[in-house]
Structure 1
Amino acid sequence: MITDGFSYLAVLMAISAFIVFAEQKTKAKLFEYLPAIVIIYFVVMLLSTVGLWQKSESVTATYKTLKSDLLPAMIFLMLLNADMREIVKLGKKMLLTFLLASTSIAIGFIGMFTLFHSSFAPNAWKAFAALTGSWMGGTGNMVAIQGALDLPDAALGYTLLIDSIDYAIWVMILLALVPFAKRFNAWSKADTSVIDKVGERLALKDAARSPMDFASLFLLLGSALLVSALSQYMAALLPTTDFLTKTTWVVIIATLAGMFFAMTPLAKRSGASELANIMLYLIVALIASRANFAELTEAPLYILAGFVIIAIHAAIMILFAKLFRLDLFSLGVASLANIGGVASAPILASAYSKALIPIGVLMAMMGYILGTFGGLMVGKILEMIAA
């Protein structure tokens, strides 16, 4: 049994690295349905369940320090690619389609929780708030909200179950609909002439980014850790409430810092997303190390709730597609930019045309910006419903 903090950290890092390496090198079918980050969570949780490490003073101190210090650094790095000036250039119609997707997802969560909240545990609203962050942005937003709302580590297992199972089926449905795009666009009377021009412009800009190098990685890492320290210092000076805790302030400050520096020369340095992912995977492993399989007793109900959320989201999107003449590409990519993030939105975009991949990436970046704030706002509404 591991009782030393460094050994505990080394094991978590090694497990995460091995699983990510296996995903990249083997291209196994398993990873098409379960992303590496989900497998990391459940492998680490299994080892926690069998008692590979003990919650000793050293292990607990390592867990708390790393989780609180890495979270704002990860948020900052994650947002460095989200340049608001480029997002605005997507065009009014695409931006409104993305916001429609985000709003309909929020309505889906509120509608589902209104129907089923009495069937969940009293604090289940926190788990769904974290999932809202993930389905408006990505796993990084989910982890940020988990920290901001002090969601128990074990409860995050429910959100990851929904995030993997329900999301995987939704991705398959959207990919299966690609051949019907022309028929759908004719039904909605959509104009798709602007989309190709936007995709070509973004592809040219992305090609101009500097290659990854040692100096850039070092600069990005140093900047992220400094932002983390300053975020925690500033958060300690701000007033708190039951909802706006110190950790919530840390998340908000780091998010605003990332949005600001995304418009500076620092954002032109390559490597921010790679460093952010390393931190994200380690944070998820840390969270899983405090969880236990015995605590996942309501998994089927949570998975059903996820499908209800997607059904409400899809119904609203189809209705507005007809009202505002929206095309299937914009609807699908906006939906996946929210629910799947940067990992899946470009895949769906490429199914339509390789030239459209940058649109999927940029929409997903917009999700990173809105996901944390959106999840916290929806969480407040869910808390009121649960009361």
Structure 2
Amino acid sequence: MDWLPISSTPGILAMLSGICAFFFWLERRTGWRLFRYLPPLIFIYLVPVVLSNTGVLPTSSPVYGQMKDLVLPMMLVLLLLKVNVGGAVRVLGRGVGVMLFGTLGVMVGAPIGYLLVKPWLEPNAWKAFGVLAGSWIGGTGNMAAVSEMIDASGTEFGLAVLADSTIYVIWLPILLGSKSIADRFSRFTGVDPERLAQMKAAADAEQIETHPPSTADLLSLLTIAFAAMWAANLIAAQLPVVEPYLDEGTWRILLITTIGIGLSFTPLSRIPGSHELGMALVYLFVARMGAIAEMESAATQALPFLCGATVWIFIHGAFCLLGAKLLKVDVHTAAIASAANIGGAASASVVASHHQESLVPASILMALMGYAIGNFAAYATAMLCWCVS
């Protein structure tokens, strides 16, 4: 076994990308119900943790730094390119407001949950709360971005992945089961009976035809991503460093996020394939975070962190209820709004298909809005946690 650990750049990349591909293939091939509750994400993180802690993969390598510098900004630009803020507002109307209430609940709940369990966590555990806020406001891409902005370790990222997957198992059945109280919820919020029909008509009007990406499309996407990275790097190098809030790396992520959102308002957003390519890079980055994590440190903090996250999620839920009441929104939209925050596009579409099939396109629009605000709001949340740490 002289070839272990796998230390060459091609070997490490082959292992990490192979792990990502394998678990998505396994999910599609087997259709196991296990993946409904434990998505491929958690295995894509945990397998590299095991491999690096048993000596198969190195825990440090120049390739990990190169992936951080290239993969992370590329995936952000590609994911944000598909954000359609105008379309989401036209389709969802006040439902966008409920999602923003849910986002506020995530921001308020994080420091509260952290304060409750802080005595049992390590000093830098506030970073894990910040990373999880990235996922619970936007999605996995935001989780990865915020981890870079606050310089979270692989261990802190692992705590966030663990809580994200565990709480999801608790929260998703609640969102699905809320359909059974639709009538009582409508009386509670005073929702307009015609609201669902109006949303369906607006969603139909937003539908556009898509086609598989061509070679020219993929080359265009790569050009856009590299050009945005280049511009962000040049500007970030000129901006002031404000410790501990804003260093060059943080500026770079905020700039790349702003550029990506700006490009989403241009015809470039219609190039197919950006979301799929961006998500592939997201999972590759998650595997990289697993490879640099320390298993022992994460294990000792797992239980208190999960307790804090459980309190946190119910604070988010209370804010969603408050938003639905104030804005007079139905339970279907409220559940989708929460799922768009907590689980991203995949979870939002699952909840939408269970509640009202016609709302699936609208749910994806809402989740994409989470991508747009996720880096800004989650970074602010991390700073709130730092303030109480």
TM-score, structure 1 length as denominator?
A: 0.94
Match of 1:248 in 2: 250
The one-letter amino acid of 1:260's match is G
- 1:76 and 1:5 map into 2 onto residues whose CA distance is 24
* Alignment of 1:64 onto 2:68: no
| Structure 1 unaligned spans of 5+ | none
Match of 2:370 in 1: 367
* Contact 1:126–1:151 (8 Å) recurs in 2: yes
- 1:139 and 1:309 map into 2 onto residues whose CA distance is 18
Match of 2:338 in 1: 335
- 2:359 and 2:89 map into 1 onto residues whose CA distance is 17
The one-letter amino acid of 2:359's match is L
Q: Could you say what the CA RMSD is over the residues aligned between the two structures, in angstroms?
A: 1.7
Change (3 A) 1:65 1:246: same
C-alpha displacement at 1:241, in angstroms?
1.6
Report the 3-state secondary structure (helix = DSSP H, G, I; strand = E; otherwise coil) of the residue aligned with 1:177. helix
Match of 1:228 in 2: 229
The one-letter amino acid of 1:259's match is I
C-alpha displacement at 1:345, in angstroms?
0.5
- 2:280 and 2:92 map into 1 onto residues whose CA distance is 33
Question: What are the within-5 Å matches in structure 2 for residues 1-387 of structure 1?
Answer: 1=4, 2-55=6-59, 60-90=61-91, 92-242=93-243, 243-296=245-298, 297-386=300-389
* Contact 1:6–1:62 (8 Å) recurs in 2: no
Deviations along 1:104-129, whole A, 9 cap, x unmatched? 12111122223332332111111101
- 1:323 and 1:53 map into 2 onto residues whose CA distance is 52
Deviations along 1:137-159, whole A, 9 cap, x unmatched? 00100100000110011211100
- 1:192 and 1:240 map into 2 onto residues whose CA distance is 52
| Structure 2 unaligned spans of 5+ | none
Report the 3-state secondary structure (helix = DSSP H, G, I; strand = E; otherwise coil) of the residue aligned with 2:123. coil
* Contact 1:46–1:292 (8 Å) recurs in 2: no
* Contact 1:72–1:231 (8 Å) recurs in 2: no
The one-letter amino acid of 2:337's match is A
- 1:192 and 1:382 map into 2 onto residues whose CA distance is 41
The one-letter amino acid of 2:314's match is A
- 2:62 and 2:8 map into 1 onto residues whose CA distance is 10
TM-score, structure 2 length as denominator?
A: 0.94
Q: In percent, how many aligned pairs have the same letter?
A: 33
C-alpha displacement at 1:210, in angstroms?
4.1
The one-letter amino acid of 1:81's match is K
* Contact 2:7–2:61 (8 Å) recurs in 1: no
Instruction: Tell me the matched-pair count.
Output: 383
* Contact 1:76–1:257 (8 Å) recurs in 2: yes
- 2:192 and 2:102 map into 1 onto residues whose CA distance is 19
* Contact 1:69–1:229 (8 Å) recurs in 2: no
